[in-house]
């Protein structure tokens, strides 16, 4: 409880949201529309750098619900599909989201996250949320009546709020999961990433200019994401041993890694690294043991993160925020309904990432790589897969069967080619092992 001196200074609100990224801004918008007093505390100042620039067609429906689609159109590069580049074949494979079960869900965006995140944050402010920047949350203390949240502002001052409900949208800071000792690293998927932005990279042409390119290589896979301002985001998601074993400056190491993929090296031969900056981050995959409590919930990366390959980060953050708003409403207004609402939310928070994790855990296996490189529509599996990759919120009838048949074909091919399958899994087991902490800072300037 607060002392008398603290109580004289504390501010009151219905809901306090920790984090002003896509998840925090989305749930703040929805709760403010319900007429609630909502405070958002963002530790940085917008615009701020963030990775995760590739969006999915499923984001479109979420932007529509917020009323920001036209604004996103203005800052985004249209994205219609994916180019897959293998390490051992003389050709690439290109698929488009419009080939899925619902052709209307055929377009997405590539965005600078600094622009998108600020757009959503300012929108939450216009909708009535009190959204503060430069406010780093230091303490969250729950009691029988609510919670006290204390933050340090970037001028050094301290502020406190009494709130009836706390939403953790702190992203990979996972503030509540850490506090509650509920965060667990995924032992099946231990990866790191190294990335930067380039000017003058050569892109695909015409309609395909905004396609994301996925390139497999010996130690993982690369992304190549064209942005509307002419820059291109390029990054490698690697098994952790690879980055931890570097023996040279980060910039040199990054370019040596790019050289392992001839297509990327050719597309970047005339390109320039923006601001001479290379970034690295580790320990990608984790999940919390639960997503809700009596007076709190977690959204997006604050609860779980699997892998950036299928560009699900912003989608999962926004979708969980939209559905999480109903949990908050039940907790504050309809407590008798809360157990059932919480149960649905907990199920959704595991089910949706689980649809993607099956593929992610196998995506470096030769069998699944071949299936992506030769996408045939036998048993309608190609259309079902593309609907999944598009994050179709309401897939057409037959979607579940298509995905099931994709998995069945995968297992059949894997058993038929059991030596290759065994070699792939053995390699994954060695690569996925924990080799200790990542050397260096989470964000590093090129040396």
**Region 83-97 average pLDDT:** 90
- Region 108-120: mean pLDDT is 98
Q: What is the rounded distance in angstroms from the CA atom of residue 93 to the CA atom of residue 204?
A: 13
At 166 the three-state DSSP class reads: strand
Where on the phi/psi map is residue 378: left (φ > 0), alpha (ψ -120 to 50), or beta? beta
361, 189 contact by CB (below 8 A)? yes
Residue 344 pLDDT greater than 80, yes or no:
yes
Q: Which two tokens stand for residue 126?
A: 């216009």
Q: Quick one: which of 442, 118, 430 has its CA closest to 278?
A: 442
End-to-end alpha carbon distance in the chain: 48
User: Are residues 167 and 324 in contact, defined by beta-carbon separation less than 8 angstroms?
Assistant: yes
**CA–CA dist 52, 114 (Å, integer):** 10
Q: What is the pLDDT of residue 190?
A: 73
- Give pLDDT, residue 432: 52
Assess contact for 234 and 200: CB atoms under 8 A: no
- The answer to whether the CB of 170 falls within 8 A of the CB of 298 is no
d(Cα 155, Cα 304) in Å, to the nearest integer? 32
Confidence of residue 419 (pLDDT cuts 50, 70, 90): confident
Residue 388 is given by DSSP the state H
CA atoms within a 13 Å half-sphere pointing along the CA-CB vector of 212: 27
Q: With 80 as the cut, is the pLDDT of residue 420 above it? A: no
Closest CA to 222 of 308, 325, 317, 112: 308
Please state, in angstroms and rounded to a whole number, the distance separating the CA atoms of residues 255 and 291: 39
Predicted TM-score (pTM) of this structure: 0.91
Return the top range by mean pLDDT from 160-174, 282-296, 396-410, 423-437: 160-174
Scanning the structure block, which residue is given the tokens 């958002």?
A: 40
């Amino acid at each position: 409880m607060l002392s008398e001196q603290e109580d004289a200074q504390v501010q009151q609100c219905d809901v306090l949201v920790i984090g002003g990224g896509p998840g925090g801004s989305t749930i703040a918008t929805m709760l403010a529309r319900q007429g609630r007093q909502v405070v958002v505390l963002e530790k940085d100042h917008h615009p701020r750098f963030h990775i995760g620039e590739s969006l999915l067609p499923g984001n479109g429906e979420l932007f529509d619900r917020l009323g920001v689609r036209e604004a996103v159109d203005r800052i985004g590069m249209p994205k219609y599909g994916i180019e897959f580049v293998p390490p051992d074949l003389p050709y690439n494979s290109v698929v488009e989201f419009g080939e899925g079960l619902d052709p209307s869900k055929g377009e997405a965006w590539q965005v600078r996250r600094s622009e998108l995140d600020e757009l959503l944050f300012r929108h939450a402010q216009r909708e009535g949320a009190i959204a503060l920047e430069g406010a780093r949350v230091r303490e969250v203390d729950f009691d029988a009546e609510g919670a006290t949240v204390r933050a340090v502002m970037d001028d050094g001052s301290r502020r406190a709020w009494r709130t009836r409900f706390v939403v953790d949208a702190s992203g990979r800071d996972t503030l509540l999961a850490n506090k509650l000792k509920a965060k667990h690293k995924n032992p099946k998927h231990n990866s790191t990433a190294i990335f930067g932005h380039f000017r003058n990279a050569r892109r695909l042409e015409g309609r395909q200019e905004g396609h994301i390119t996925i390139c497999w290589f010996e130690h993982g896979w690369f992304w190549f994401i064209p942005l509307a301002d002419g820059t291109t985001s390029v990054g490698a998601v690697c098994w952790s041993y690879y980055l931890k074993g570097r023996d040279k400056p980060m910039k040199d190491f990054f370019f040596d890694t790019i050289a392992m993929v001839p297509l990327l090296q050719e597309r970047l031969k005339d390109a320039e690294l923006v601001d001479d900056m290379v970034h690295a981050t580790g320990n990608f995959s984790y999940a919390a043991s639960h997503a809700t409590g009596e007076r709190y919930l977690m959204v997006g990366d604050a609860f779980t993160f699997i892998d950036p390959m299928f560009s699900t980060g912003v989608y999962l953050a926004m979708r969980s925020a939209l559905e999480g708003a109903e949990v908050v409403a039940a907790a504050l207004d309809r407590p008798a309904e809360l157990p059932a609402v919480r149960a649905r939310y907990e199920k959704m928070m595991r089910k949706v990432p689980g649809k993607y994790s099956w593929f992610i855990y196998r995506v470096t296996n030769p069998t699944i790589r071949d299936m992506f490189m030769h996408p045939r529509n036998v048993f309608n599996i190609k259309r079902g897969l593309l609907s999944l990759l598009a994050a179709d919120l309401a897939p057409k009838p037959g979607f579940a069967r298509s995905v099931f048949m994709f998995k069945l074909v995968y297992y059949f091919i894997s058993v038929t080619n059991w030596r290759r399958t065994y070699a792939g899994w053995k390699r994954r087991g060695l690569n996925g092992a924990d080799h200790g902490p990542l050397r260096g800072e989470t964000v590093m300037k090129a040396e």
